Amino acid sequence: MVMIKKEKKYYRPLPKSLTILNSPIEGIGLFAAEDIKSYTWLGLTHVYNMDFEDGYIRTPLGGFINYCEDPNCEVNTTYPGQESNDNINNLYLWTKKYIKEGEELTLQYMLYNPTE
């Protein structure tokens, strides 16, 4: 009899390419743990739910990204392979530019402007 060892699956709140570190912008932020190509889909940032403030539940990906007027990421309502905007209210994070390892990921917020 051959024993097959099952690999434990652990929940990982962020893609392996990202980590959370102290930010020179504000508090803590998302940083590249490796180089990331432009137009890379990073995952779900906000789930639409009217029971929550601003109508969204933030995921860890959406909760730690800092604001910037000239961001290297953007939010979109689609994800790879999605043919239509069936989940138009959910928000997904994409890189706009090539991001070097150690660089902070930034975003121009859609729900509010922290500079106002």
- Domain ranges (residues) in the chain: 18-107
Which CATH architecture best describes the domain 18-107? Beta Complex (2.170)
Q: Answer yes or no: are the C-beta atoms of 104 and 29 closer than 8 Å.
A: yes
For 24-72, the pLDDT digits (tens) are: 999 999 999 999 999 999 999 988 888 887 788 889 999 999 999 999 9
Token pair 């434990």 is found at: 8
Collapse the DSSP code of 92 into the 3-class scheme (helix H, G, I; strand E, B; otherwise coil) and give the result: strand
Global confidence as pTM: 0.80
Kind and range of the H or E element at 95? Answer: strand 91-95
